[in-house]
Chain A
Amino acid sequence: MKVLVTVKRVIDYNVKVRVKSDNSGVDLSNVKMAMNPFCEIAVEEAIRLKEAGIATEVVVVSLGVKACQEQLRTALALGADRAIHVETDQELESLNVAKLLAKVIEEEQPGMVILGKQAIDTDNNQTGQMLAALTGMPQGTFASKIVVDGDKALVTREVDGGLQTVELNMPIIATTDLRLNEPRYASLPNIMKAKRKPLVVKTIEELGVSIKDHTKLLSVTPPPERQGGIKVADVAELVDKLKNEAKVI
């Protein structure tokens, strides 16, 4: 079985995010970028499936600027077999990403597609679900456990009330939650090997997908800075302030 894993290049989680002064977005110039942590979990799961003899090939795909190849190389160093980079300088919203991925799936015919449930930059949590709708494949989102059993997959999902297990007919789409696994680190020999693994670059035109934006980003503002506190004389004053000034009770 071939497993396709998506990888997104995002701002490193250690970086203090700065909003551009004109509120047009987050300042990404000269900041450290990394693989989205949920995608790391997706890559790890695919590699474990391969190590368990269930998957035969792990293909990683990323969409975006040329530098996305750094994250693809990281995935190759972790153990993926080959990479596909759909190169574009355009900002892609979730639906466009899903459409492009659907095309890649059509070409690659994987038995399973694993995505991060969301990316830590925009926190949309949409692409996996949209992709399922576009391809008609069954979806198991927020997965904390994936078990392949012949032509079926049991996906345990993290839902509000606890855990829900769904049985899906392969091929499937799964999106990862934090508890699915703990990603490994790339070993030095594997980083070296990754340099020689195949990485194919494609364009949006080659995939024949027309990109159309459905949403417009109006503005991005940082959360308000924390104000200094004050001392209140007694409980009555506290209640009064909570009621009349903060208006929270």
Chain B
Amino acid sequence: MSVYQHPYKDVDFVIRHLLEFDAFCKENNLADVDTDFANVILSEADKFAAKYLVEQNQQGDLHPAKLVDGKVVETPGFGDSYNAFVEQGWPSLSASESFGGQGLPNLFSVAANEIWQSANLAFALCPLLGQGAISALEKHGSETLKAQYLEKMISGQWTGTMNLTEAAAGTDLAAIKTRAVQKDGQYKIFGQKIFITWGDHQMADNIIHLVLARLPDAPAGVKGISLFIVPKFLLDEAGNPAAENDLRCISLEHKLGIHGSPTCVMSYGDNEGAIGYLVGEEHCGLRYMFSMMNHARQGVGVQGLGITERAFQGALEYASQRVQGSDKAGNDIRIIAFGDVRRMLLMMKSGAEAMRALCYVAGFEYDKKSVAADEDKAAVDATIAFLTPIVKGWCTELAQELVSLAMQVYGGAGYIEEAGVAQHVRDARILPIYEGTTGIQALDLTIRKTLLDNGAQATLFIEQIQQCVDDLNMLEGAGDLQSALSSALDDGRAALAWLAENPKQADSVAAHNLQLWGYLLGGWLMAKSSIAAQQQLDKGEGDSEYLKAKLVTCQFYTEHLLVRTKASIASIKAGSEAIMSLSEEQFFSHVN
């Protein structure tokens, strides 16, 4: 059984000292919230997860959802946990108060999401995607639709899904074939969607599908896609789920991991057509979908953090107990004493802490946006837009390496299912794939978020990091840290300059650019953490053991992870020559 304890001290540190959340609350007259209150909420979330989710994680793996008589029956026990989750009000945490939400900062939601994802990733996917559906509806739905659907989706009584992908339309949504037809004053949806996470289950009274489809007169390409709400059960006059809509799950995928999360093939309109309701205006669906995509993509980044933390804790526990060998005096040696094991543990520890800092910083931007003056909101949006592909792409890729290292710590025992870490390795593998692959995140960052604005947003971050390099002057003995961060920042500048010169090669090297930015932002936030931790120590405040460990963790990050910007910049500068020069035949030339 793999263990999990909420890393509450690191979470408190990030919120209180790295983000300086309390000062933010004071400046913006947010009297009801502060770091202490975040801790109250998170400690309850932790209790909930410990009781309902942590152990059930393995149940989901061993007993996947099943398709029985056309209905998806989820993992035994998940329904009870979901009911409790809703009863305790967790889905409504950061949702708008006008629809029954608690209106708490998005930062709290990110921190709670970390707990859910560490505890039970397959389960937590259901409310995560629901949040995306809620935010799309909230922003773009008509008042009527909002009145009918939002409150129950926010409370979690009804769950939400996102239906984009089709067999021939994955990354290229222009290829969508699902049709929407206007008939008798209603939209009828016909078509098949694949990879629909939690597309059907028996945990909630209704499931609200957000479906992308094309109207008959639609312009070609992505400009002709519309977004519809298609509920599993149509609502009666009182607004309660009544008649079944013409849609069903026709098959479940057999997957490498996240077995507890049913991945459905959904069929719409096998008979008279599934009734759908247009969200916003016709042909604007893709834009609406993207507004929920940012949120969901950051959420997947947090999944990378969550599963890394969980796997790390298991490996740490194992390493502190597993005895191999003895010293000259005949005392047992536990493997946590060995340098290479410590290296692996520190990779996970420093990687997870850097990811946490980045995920929380990015999530906090939504709160900054909500208090920003109207004319300043666009600037915050640009920051969110820049950070999102890095949160998604970098955290989920790093999670692969770190979860794999967790298994490595166990040695052969880790490869055996009983140890529990094998599930994390399998579950983690989806993260760089869904909600836009790493390749897509890299292109998004490199082309749309960097080249298209002539590097404006990237430059703003470069300035902030330079400020941090300067601030390191006041941190005694931080010379190595300072020069390492400064050097990595130069790599960031060099990448920006090279891309500006060679925009046509951007797609070949985008993945390296994404990694460079991930490690660089991680290094920046770890350096800021060092400064904050040292300030605490100097004042004699806080838990000195934790703070000293933070300093060492930052040092390790700088020495072992931040240096990876060197490899990235070298590969970026190599450009696309080798990448593009093989002919397709040459790829096969070793076998043909």
Contacts of B5 in A (CB 8 A): 14
In the docked arrangement, what's the CA distance between A188 and B47, Å?
Answer: 12
Interface assignment of B543: CB less than 8 Å from any CB of chain A: yes
Q: A187-B88, A192-B102, A195-B32 are in contact. Are A70 and B40 (CB under 8 A)?
A: yes
Contacts of A70 in B (CB 8 A): 36, 40
In the docked arrangement, what's the CA distance between A77 and B88, Å?
Answer: 11
4 residue pairs, one from A and one from B, having the closest CB atoms: A188-B89, A30-B543, A187-B88, A187-B89
Interface assignment of A32: CB less than 8 Å from any CB of chain B: yes
Q: Are B88 and A185 in contact (CB under 8 A)?
A: yes
Contacts of B544 in A (CB 8 A): 30
List 25 interface pairs A-B (beta carbons < 8 Å), by A numbering.
A14-B5, A29-B543, A30-B542, A30-B543, A30-B544, A30-B545, A70-B36, A70-B40, A77-B44, A185-B44, A185-B48, A186-B44, A187-B87, A187-B88, A188-B41, A188-B88, A188-B92, A188-B102, A189-B89, A189-B92, A190-B89, A191-B41, A191-B44, A195-B32, A195-B37
Interface assignment of A73: CB less than 8 Å from any CB of chain B: yes
Contacts of B87 in A (CB 8 A): 187
Which of A14, A32, A188, A192 has most chain B Cβ within 10 Å?
A188
- Chain A contact-residue range equals 10 to 19
CB distance from A99 to the nearest CB of B (A): 31
Count chain B residues whose beta carbon lies closer than 8 angstroms to a beta carbon of A. 23
Nearest B residue to A184 by beta-carbon distance?
A: B88
Interface assignment of B560: CB less than 8 Å from any CB of chain A: no
Q: Are A191 and B92 in contact (CB under 8 A)?
A: no
Nearest B residue to A192 by beta-carbon distance?
A: B102
CB distance from A102 to the nearest CB of B (A): 31
Contacts of B47 in A (CB 8 A): 185
CB distance from B421 to the nearest CB of A (A): 22
In the docked arrangement, what's the CA distance between A77 and B32, Å?
Answer: 15
Contacts of B88 in A (CB 8 A): 185-188
In the docked arrangement, what's the CA distance between A157 and B90, Å?
Answer: 37
Interface assignment of B548: CB less than 8 Å from any CB of chain A: no
Contacts of B36 in A (CB 8 A): 70
Given contacts A29-B543, A73-B40, A188-B89, 5 further A-B contacts (CB under 8 A): A32-B8, A185-B88, A189-B92, A189-B102, A191-B41
User: Could you tell me which residues of chain B, from 537 to 556, have a CB within 8 Å of some CB in chain A?
Assistant: 542-546
Contacts of B51 in A (CB 8 A): 185
Contacts of A190 in B (CB 8 A): 89
**What 0/1 readout, one digit per residue, does chain B (523-546) give for beta carbons within 8 Å of chain A?**
000000000000000000011111
A-B contact count (CB 8 A): 42
CB distance from A223 to the nearest CB of B (A): 19
In the docked arrangement, what's the CA distance between A189 and B88, Å?
Answer: 8
In the docked arrangement, what's the CA distance between A187 and B37, Å?
Answer: 14
**What 0/1 readout, one digit per residue, does chain A (76-105) give for beta carbons within 8 Å of chain B?**
010000000000000000000000000000
**What 0/1 readout, one digit per residue, does chain B (347-386) give for beta carbons within 8 Å of chain A?**
0000000000000000000000000000000000000000
Interface assignment of B53: CB less than 8 Å from any CB of chain A: no
**What 0/1 readout, one digit per residue, does chain A (24-37) give for beta carbons within 8 Å of chain B?**
00000110100000
Interface assignment of B207: CB less than 8 Å from any CB of chain A: no
Q: Are A188 and B32 in contact (CB under 8 A)?
A: no
Contacts of A187 in B (CB 8 A): 87-89
**What 0/1 readout, one digit per residue, does chain A (54-90) give for beta carbons within 8 Å of chain B?**
0000000000000000100110010000000000000
In the docked arrangement, what's the CA distance between A16 and B88, Å?
Answer: 29
Nearest B residue to A189 by beta-carbon distance?
A: B89
Nearest A residue to B32 by beta-carbon distance?
A: A195
CB distance from B414 to the nearest CB of A (A): 25
Q: A187-B87, A188-B88, A188-B102 are in contact. Are A30 and B40 (CB under 8 A)?
A: no
In the docked arrangement, what's the CA distance between A32 and B12, Å?
Answer: 12
Contacts of A29 in B (CB 8 A): 543
In the docked arrangement, what's the CA distance between A185 and B546, Å?
Answer: 29
Interface assignment of B506: CB less than 8 Å from any CB of chain A: no
User: Could you tell me which residues of chain A, from 177 to 199, have a CB within 8 Å of some CB in chain B?
Assistant: 185-192, 195
User: Could you tell me which residues of chain B, from 66 to 99, have a CB within 8 Å of some CB in chain A?
Assistant: 87-90, 92-93
CB distance from B586 to the nearest CB of A (A): 59
Contacts of A73 in B (CB 8 A): 40
Which of B44, B543, B545 has most chain A Cβ within 10 Å?
B44
**What 0/1 readout, one digit per residue, does chain A (145-176) give for beta carbons within 8 Å of chain B?**
00000000000000000000000000000000
In the docked arrangement, what's the CA distance between A32 and B39, Å?
Answer: 11
